[in-house]
Amino acid sequence: MNEWEVQQLLKRLAAGDLAAFDRIYEMTFQDVYRTLSLLLVNRGDIEDVMNEVYVGMWLSLPRYDPGRPFRYWLHGLIVRKAQDWRRKAWRRLRLLKRANWAKGTDGWTDDSVLAAETRQEVLTLVRRLPYKLRVVIILRYYHDYTLEEMAELLQIPLGTVKSRHHHALKKLRRQLEERPQGKVASTDDLGTTTT
Amino acid sequence: MILERQLRDELKQYASSQQCPPDMHARLRQQMEQAMGKGAFRPARFRRGVMAAAISAALLLPAAAFAGNPMLADRIYGSFEQLKKKMTAVTMEQYAALAGKLSGAQAQLGEKEYARYEALLKQYVRAAYEYGNGKGYIDFDALPAEKRAEMKQLLRELQPYFDRLNGERSAKEVLSPEAFDRYIEAQMTYQTVLAQAGIEAGQRFTSQDIPAHLRDRFEKAEAVIREVSRATDPRR
């Protein structure tokens, strides 16, 4: 993603240019969708939050700081929108009028099913982490951000990022060890030295 | 650093297997277009819909919490088996999710208030068991007048709890008594139409799924609910 091109597109988008939206969508949708698929526990929420992300992007364009990389801004937005969605969980008591809902129970991600299907045990544990810790793990190991970059992106102090990262790894390790038939789990305590 | 490597591998592997639905672009684009046309744009969200219908619809709630106390759900619904008899489409996961929601409500409301809330929900669920269509909605048109009035009263009392749990301003306080009454009526109409249309609670639907002769009624009720949603938005 070329920063200069993005800036131009965002300007056009702010001016109401739909073609610019198409281009931005094309550049970002895969990333947005996949990041959300990791952040959210319920598969059924992904499309809703994706909607919020793009709408949110448009709404917060006036506050966009061209001095910061677009990628930070986008990922920060995704994290915030996913979090807002969780906060508003109760709002989902409402019945929604939306098309294309997969019938049946397809929208429910059941961890055990997921694990069985994919044999991805660590991923299953990541999904069980508290949201704040999960975010740090996903930004660090999926997006390969450094801890410093994460602090900027999430706009929280570096110390907080470090401690969340440390906690998250510790928790994951402990859970891996506690499994009934544990496979190989790293037992060293080097959680904070990954940057 | 086995764990770190494993995290990288699994996260990337899982994510790359996830495909965005192809029609997402068109849907978003339409929203954007609408947004831009309106200038100042508020996302077209239908934030609340029918809360009460939603006792059954509550079943559809994704749980924020994993560990819900199943007892809480059992106290209201009897048991999963019992609910399953009435609403065949319901799944155990949904029931567990509901229990998670109720735990959240308990924490938020506190013991005493929750007890009151639970009592109201119980009454509602009893009625839904008796008069519901097995798909989670009640056709209020089909109720005897007395029963209907009773249900309406129940919904009036439940509404402030829903608003609170949703972190919204209380419709009862924000609206005039007449407007609040219209709001409750609109929710009942909404639910009635869905019951008559044979829509399963929790299934998404489009206006195409609503039979033409009900559509006008439905849209009017929806407009009222939407209006109230705006009025009770805590950001206002």
Whether A19 and A67 share a structural domain: yes
Would you state the pLDDT for residue B70?
Answer: 64
A137 lies in the same domain as A81: no
- Interface size A-B, in CB pairs within 8 Å, comes to 184
The domain boundary, picked from A57, A88, A119, lies at A88
Task: Please tell me the distance in Å from A65's CA to the nearest CA on chain B.
Answer: 21
**For residue A118, what is the nearest residue in chain B, using CA coordinates?**
B14
Q: Can you tell me which residue has the tokens 């007395």? A: B146
The closest alpha carbon to B166, from B66, B233, B111, belongs to B233
Contact B204 A186 (CB under 8 A): no
Name the residue with higher pLDDT: A125 or A94.
A125
Q: Are residues A114 and A190 in the same domain?
A: yes
Rounded to a whole number of angstroms, the distance between the first and last alpha carbons of chain A is: 24
Query: Which whole number is the average pLDDT over A107-136?
Result: 71
Q: Chain A residues with CB inside 8 Å of B15's CB?
A: 34-35, 37-38, 142
| Helix ranges (DSSP H) in chain A | 3-14, 18-39, 46-59, 70-87, 111-118, 121-128, 131-141, 147-154, 158-178
Q: Which of residues 175-234 of B touch A (CB under 8 A)?
A: 190, 194, 201-207, 222
Query: Residue-wise over A90-106: b if at least 16 C-beta within 10 A, else e?
Result: bbbbbbbbeeebeeebe
Separation between Cα atoms, residue A112 and residue A77, nearest integer Å? 30
**Quick one: A83 and A120 in the same domain?**
no
pLDDT tens, position by position, B94-114: 666 677 677 777 777 888 888
Q: Does the pLDDT value for residue B153 go beyond 50?
A: yes
Q: Averaged over A112-139, what is the pLDDT?
A: 79
Residue in A with minimal Cα distance to B104: A90
Chain segment B10-62, per-residue pLDDT in tens: 999 989 888 898 888 988 888 887 767 654 433 333 333 333 334 333 433 33
pLDDT of residue B47: 33
Is pLDDT of A173 > 60?
yes
Element (H or E) spanning B38, and its range? helix B24-38
A1 and A79 share one domain: yes
Task: CATH number of the domain at A49, please.
Answer: 1.10.1740.10
**Tens of pLDDT along B188-234?**
898 888 888 888 766 667 777 888 888 889 888 888 888 887 787 76
Would residue A98 count as lying in a domain?
A: no
pLDDT tier at A37, thresholds 50, 70, 90 = very high
Contact B183, B42 (CB under 8 A): no
Domain enclosing residue A30, as ranges: 1-88
How many domains does chain A contain in total? Answer: 2
Residue A55 to residue B94, Cβ atoms within 8 A: no
Position B191 scores a pLDDT of 84
Instruction: Determine the average pLDDT of the residues in A87-113.
Output: 44
Q: Do A22 and A62 lie in a common domain? A: yes
Residue A93 domain-assigned (yes or no): no
User: Is residue B131 within a helix (H) or strand (E), and if so which, with residue range?
Assistant: helix B111-131
- Asked if A83 and A5 sit in the same domain, the reply is yes
- Please indicate, yes or no, whether residues A83 and A116 belong to a single structural domain of this protein: no
Q: Which two tokens stand for residue A44?
A: 């059924």
Give the domain CATH number at A178: 1.10.10.10
Amino acid identity of residue A2, one-letter, is: N
CB of B10 less than 8 A from some CB of A: yes
- Mean pLDDT over A123-152 rounds to 93
Interchain contact, B62 vs A42, CB within 8 Å: yes
Domains of chain B: 54-231 (1.10.3950.10)
Q: Is residue A73 one of the residues assigned to a domain?
A: yes
| Cβ contact A96–B46 (<8 Å) | yes
Lowest mean pLDDT among A96-100, B124-128, B138-142, B185-189: A96-100
Residue A104 in any domain: the answer is no
Mean pLDDT within B58-69: 38
CB A49 within 8 A of CB A81: yes
A122 and A190 fall within a common domain: yes
A112 three-class SS: helix
Q: Quick one: A118 and A72 in the same domain?
A: no
Q: With an 8 Å Cβ cutoff, is B57 touching chain A?
A: yes
Predicted pLDDT of residue A181: 53
Q: Report yes or no: A34 and B18 within 8 Å, Cβ to Cβ.
A: yes
Q: Do A74 and A130 belong together in one domain?
A: no
Using the beta-carbon criterion (under 8 Å), do B25 and A25 form an inter-chain contact? yes
* A94 within domain boundaries: no
Give me the helix-helix angle, A121-128 and A158-178, nearest 10°: 130
- Pick the last residue of a domain from A58, A88, A118: A88
Q: Residue B93 and residue A110: Cβ atoms within 8 Å?
A: yes
Considering the domain boundaries, does residue A103 fall inside one?
no
Least confident of A70-84, A133-147, B70-84, B166-180: B70-84
- Distance (Å) from the alpha carbon of A152 to chain B's nearest alpha carbon: 22
Residues B233 and B199: beta-carbon distance below 8 Å:
no
Residues in A closer than 8 angstroms to B66, CB to CB, are 128
Co-location of A37 and A116 in the same domain: no
Q: Name the amino acid, one letter, at B148.
A: R
Question: A53, A88, A123 — which closes off a domain?
Answer: A88
